[in-house]
């Protein structure tokens, strides 16, 4: 490294506590324990501690039963759980702080009880009004924060952070937009920050003089919300009164969620234009900055710029727990990149459970058994043939090779990547390039024999004499004209020359600028969004027709839809969305969609109709191999078309299970 990461690896003291380096993981909800500090949660953090992280802030912890998310911090039963966590983490050197949280009018308690907020304003997520916390009741909440802090201290944690960011209760008190109170907690800035100051004072009394206590704050991004100057003023006043030992600067709230965890379209440090204004003016306490940092070089640059004293890398560490260790050891190229898709972590779209996931890291939440460290080398290497060089096949080949098997991968196309090579033709998909580049580098590093332009039939596979075959042959778009809303009908005119699948569109010649396209989205995922953006950037007028109540609802869950819509609406051509409709008829130059909710049919200009439909798995090869080779495993879209996260996980699991 030649000293180039000098600042990253310089320890820093926050109050009495030494943080071994400048890399932080700020709080992030995992649900790995569903409220409790479970073995999985301990394993998750321990893996990042072993990986060299300096400081981790535990996920939002509820201080009061009137708002619940993350861990339950309002009961003494959390104390022995913390102690167990710290027994595992302390020897590894990582410091652990606890974020204390109340969601205010954002997150309701279970059971239909009302939300509690600074004012009666409806929350931006549920649209329901909160019951304002009464003036005399504030003391109960102050005590709740202090009690939760005491539990953290008794459990052996190293520090406390109060969540005063992201539109949660404390932010609601600070913001003139959400605090309309007329008592001593509303009105002037001094009044609006009184609750926070009282909480910090009570926390100090509860935890004693040595424990670091800080705040997370950031500006909102809509008119009238907290601005950077106000946040900086609050932080400075708190610092001047000795109430905070660090400031963790963030950005955004639930009125503009996409700023909180920017997707793959955002550059490293994308929050700095906002958060940097805060950290630029409050310099008397250590400052943490965040926002899609993925490499230690990027972190070093930020530290050098003076914008922060510590750099948070949350999703980067979800993707690779060993980021720091690998980089420190000169193996930065081996760091598995976060692709900023937000599908596994925030949207948790795997459909399997509601725990923290990761599209590119299948070991998430099961580090002890599935981390790369736990792969182990086989004593009886097998000949493994992987058919298909998409993400499922690449991950299977990687893991089988790490286990010491002889691996040969056959890809019918002339390059590795499978459907990623199609997906990455759309704009704003840099993350897909990143993960593909990583797999290509890993194939070379591990010495996986990759045969390109090598489509295999069953006979070819048998002739190779493998012990195990992993079939990862992907899926084809369905073109039978049967759409989900009306599976008993075939769309009239589906065979017209102007009809194409999304894959044909993205891999074929671009349509002429000025033409009109109808994109039929039967799925509700990223693919139709990609198709619409691809067309619009080429000057094609786009109408999206979907059977769903909104365009891209599943992308919305990943906090990527608002920005995508902003781009689509400001593109060089027209963009229209028709919801709750299905394609009924295609004619030269036009198409007709039928309403699913009793409205009139609509005929729209369409030189081109692009179908984004579910895909049919290419599983034939696996069926033909059954009984002809000793062991056949079908994974990824070839088993059932789903997404990247599942493809990678199944490739990983299949390779691990080879005897
Ligand atoms: C436009 C588009 C956008 C997408 N965007 C996203 C996204 O944002 N997020 C997400 O999670 N998912 C996305 N996906 C889906 C994702 O790319 C797939 O789910 C994933 O690639 C499936 O991986 P796989 O390895 O199972 O199959 P594939 O990626 O399809 O790979 C299969 C490979 O097998 C090869 N093959 C097939 N038969 C043979 C044979 N007989 N011999 C040799 N090779 C063979 C094929 O050439 C292909 O390269 C998108 C897909 C598309 C088309
Ligand atoms: C799954 C997930 C859950 C999160 N939960 C919290 C939380 O509980 N409290 C909080 O302050 N921030 C939370 N965040 C925001 C992160 O702390 C961080 O600011 C954000 O991910 C941007 O940093 P990154 O680009 O390094 O991932 C969460 C982020 C993710 C991805």
Note the pLDDT tens digit of each residue in 16-48.
999 999 999 999 999 998 889 999 999 999 999
- Specify the range with the lowest mean pLDDT, choosing from 283-287, 345-349, 616-620: 345-349
State the distance from the centre of ligand 2 to the C-alpha of 134, rounded, in angstroms: 30
- Specify the range with the lowest mean pLDDT, choosing from 161-175, 191-205, 257-271, 339-353: 339-353
Q: Which atom of ligand 1 is nearest to the CA of 635?
A: 26
pLDDT of residue 240: 98
State the distance from the centre of ligand 2 to the C-alpha of 149, rounded, in angstroms: 21
Q: Taking a C-beta distance cutoff of 8 angstroms, is the pair 483, 582 a contact?
A: yes
| 391 Cβ inside 6 Å of ligand 2 | no
391-402 and 430-446 are packed helices; what angle lies between their axes, rounded to 10 degrees?
30
| Protein residue closest via CA to atom 2 of ligand 1 | 423
pLDDT of residue 3: 65
Local confidence band at 432 (pLDDT 50, 70, 90 cut-offs)? very high
- Find the ligand nearest to 312 CA: 2
pLDDT digits (tens, 9 = 90+) for 492-503: 999 999 999 999
pLDDT of residue 108: 84
Local confidence band at 572 (pLDDT 50, 70, 90 cut-offs)? confident
| 226 Cβ inside 6 Å of ligand 2 | no
Q: Determine the Cα–Cα distance for residues 221 and 165; give it in Å rounded to an integer.
A: 12
Helices (H), 513-643: 526-537, 553-556, 561-569, 620-625
Residue 353 reports pLDDT greater than 60: no
**Mapped to the 3 state alphabet, what secondary structure does 32-68 carry?**
CCCCCCCHHHHHHHHHHHHCCCCEEEEEEEECCCCCC
Residue 235 reports pLDDT greater than 50: yes
Local confidence band at 158 (pLDDT 50, 70, 90 cut-offs)? very high
pLDDT of residue 347: 81
Local confidence band at 352 (pLDDT 50, 70, 90 cut-offs)? very low
3-state class of 160 per DSSP? Answer: strand
State the distance from the centre of ligand 2 to the C-alpha of 350, rounded, in angstroms: 19
Output the DSSP codes for 187-216: SSHHHHTHHHHHHHHHHHHHH-SSS-EEEE
Sign of the Cα torsion 545, 550, 553, 559 reads positive
| 257 Cβ inside 6 Å of ligand 2 | no
| Protein residue closest via CA to atom 4 of ligand 2 | 28
Q: Taking a C-beta distance cutoff of 8 angstroms, is the pair 93, 154 a contact?
A: no
628 to each of 406, 452, 464, 465, how far by Cα in Å?
A: 20, 24, 12, 10
**Percent of the chain topping pLDDT 90:** 91
Which residues fall within 8 angstroms of residue 300, CB to CB, at 6 or more apart?
Answer: 4, 5, 6, 7, 8
Burial of 125 (0-12, 13-18, 19+ CB in 10 A): middle
Cα angle vertex 405, ends 316, 468, to 5°?
105
Q: Determine the Cα–Cα distance for residues 358 and 354; give it in Å rounded to an integer.
A: 12
Q: Determine the Cα–Cα distance for residues 397 and 185; give it in Å rounded to an integer.
A: 60
Structure tokens at 90: 């302390």
State the distance from the centre of ligand 2 to the C-alpha of 240, rounded, in angstroms: 28
State the distance from the centre of ligand 1 to the C-alpha of 475, rounded, in angstroms: 7
Residue 279 reports pLDDT greater than 70: yes
Q: Determine the Cα–Cα distance for residues 554 and 651; give it in Å rounded to an integer.
A: 24
Around 367, how many Cα atoms within 13 Å sit in the side-chain half-sphere?
Answer: 24
pLDDT digits (tens, 9 = 90+) for 514-534: 999 999 999 999 999 999 999
Q: Taking a C-beta distance cutoff of 8 angstroms, is the pair 140, 65 a contact?
A: no
pLDDT of residue 2: 45
Q: Determine the Cα–Cα distance for residues 483 and 552; give it in Å rounded to an integer.
A: 17
State the distance from the centre of ligand 2 to the C-alpha of 393, rounded, in angstroms: 31
Mean pLDDT of 338-354: 75
Q: Determine the Cα–Cα distance for residues 65 and 69; give it in Å rounded to an integer.
A: 10
- Find the ligand nearest to 651 CA: 1
Q: What is the mean pLDDT of the chain?
A: 95
Task: Count CB-CB contacts under 10 A for residue 257.
Answer: 18
Local confidence band at 659 (pLDDT 50, 70, 90 cut-offs)? confident
| 387 Cβ inside 6 Å of ligand 1 | yes
pLDDT of residue 409: 98
pLDDT of residue 350: 37
pLDDT digits (tens, 9 = 90+) for 40-69: 999 999 999 999 999 999 999 999 999 988
């Amino acid at each position: 490294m030649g000293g180039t990461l000098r600042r990253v690896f310089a320890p820093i003291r926050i109050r009495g506590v030494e943080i071994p380096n400048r890399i932080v993981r700020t709080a992030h909800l995992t649900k790995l324990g569903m409220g409790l500090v479970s073995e999985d949660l301990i394993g998750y953090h321990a893996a990042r501690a072993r990986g060299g992280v300096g400081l981790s802030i535990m996920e939002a912890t509820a201080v009061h039963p009137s708002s619940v998310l993350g861990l339950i911090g309002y009961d003494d039963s959390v104390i022995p759980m913390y102690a167990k966590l710290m027994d595992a983490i302390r020897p590894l050197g990582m410091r652990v702080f606890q974020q204390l949280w109340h969601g205010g009018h954002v997150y309701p308690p279970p059971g239909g009880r009302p939300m509690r907020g600074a004012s009666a304003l409806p929350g931006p997520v549920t649209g329901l009004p909160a019951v304002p916390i009464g003036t005399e009741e504030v003391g109960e909440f102050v005590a709740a924060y202090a009690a939760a802090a005491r539990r953290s201290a008794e459990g052996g944690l190293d520090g406390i952070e109060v969540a005063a960011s992201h539109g949660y209760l404390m932010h609601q008190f600070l913001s003139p937009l959400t605090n309309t109170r007329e008592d001593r907690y509303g009105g002037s800035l001094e009044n609006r920050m009184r609750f926070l100051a009282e909480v910090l004072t009570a926390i100090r009394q509860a935890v004693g003089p040595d424990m670091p206590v800080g705040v997370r704050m950031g500006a909102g991004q809509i008119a009238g919300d907290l601005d950077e100057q106000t946040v900086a003023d609050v932080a400075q006043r708190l610092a001047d009164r000795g109430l905070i030992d660090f400031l963790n600067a963030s950005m955004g709230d639930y009125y503009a969620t996409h700023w909180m965890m920017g997707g793959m379209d955002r550059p490293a440090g994308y929050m700095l234009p906002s958060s940097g204004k805060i950290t630029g003016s409050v310099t008397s306490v250590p400052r943490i900055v965040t926002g899609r940092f993925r490499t230690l070089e990027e972190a070093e640059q930020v530290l050098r710029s003076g914008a922060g004293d510590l750099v948070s890398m949350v999703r980067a560490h979800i993707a690779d727990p060993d980021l720091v260790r690998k980089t420190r050891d000169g193996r930065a190229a081996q760091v598995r990149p976060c692709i900023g898709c937000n599908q596994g972590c925030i949207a948790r779209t795997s459909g399997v459970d509601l725990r923290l996931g990761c599209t590119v890291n299948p070991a998430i939440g099961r580090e002890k058994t599935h981390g790369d460290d736990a792969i182990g080398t086989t004593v009886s290497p097998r000949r493994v043939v992987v058919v298909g060089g998409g993400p499922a096949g690449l991950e299977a080949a990687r893991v089988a090779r790490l286990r010491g098997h002889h691996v040969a991968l056959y890809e019918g196309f002339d390059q590795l990547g499978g459907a990623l090579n199609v997906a990455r033709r759309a704009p704003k998909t840099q993350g897909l390039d990143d993960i593909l580049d990583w797999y290509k580098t890993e194939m070379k590093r591990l010495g996986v024999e990759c045969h390109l332009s090598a489509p295999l039939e069953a006979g070819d596979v048998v002739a190779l004499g493998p012990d195990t075959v992993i079939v990862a042959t992907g899926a084809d778009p369905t073109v039978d004209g049967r759409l989900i809303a009306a599976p008993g009908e075939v769309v009239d005119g589906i065979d017209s020359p102007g009809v194409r699948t999304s894959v044909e569109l993205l891999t074929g010649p671009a349509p002429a600028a000025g033409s009109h396209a109808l994109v039929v989205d039967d799925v509700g995922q990223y693919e139709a969004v990609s198709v619409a953006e691809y067309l619009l950037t080429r000057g094609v007028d786009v109408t999206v027709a979907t059977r769903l109540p909104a365009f891209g609802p599943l992308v919305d869950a990943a906090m990527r839809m608002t920005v995508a819509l902003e781009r689509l609406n400001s593109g060089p051509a027209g963009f229209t969305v028709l919801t709750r409709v299905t394609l009924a008829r295609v004619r030269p130059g036009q198409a007709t969609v039928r309403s699913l909710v009793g409205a009139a049919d609509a005929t729209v200009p369409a030189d081109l109709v692009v179908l984004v439909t579910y895909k049919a798995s290419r599983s034939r090869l696996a069926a033909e191999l059954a009984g002809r080779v000793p062991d056949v495993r079908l994974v990824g879209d070839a088993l059932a078309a789903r997404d990247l996260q599942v493809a990678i996980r199944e490739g990983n699991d299949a390779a691990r299970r080879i005897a």
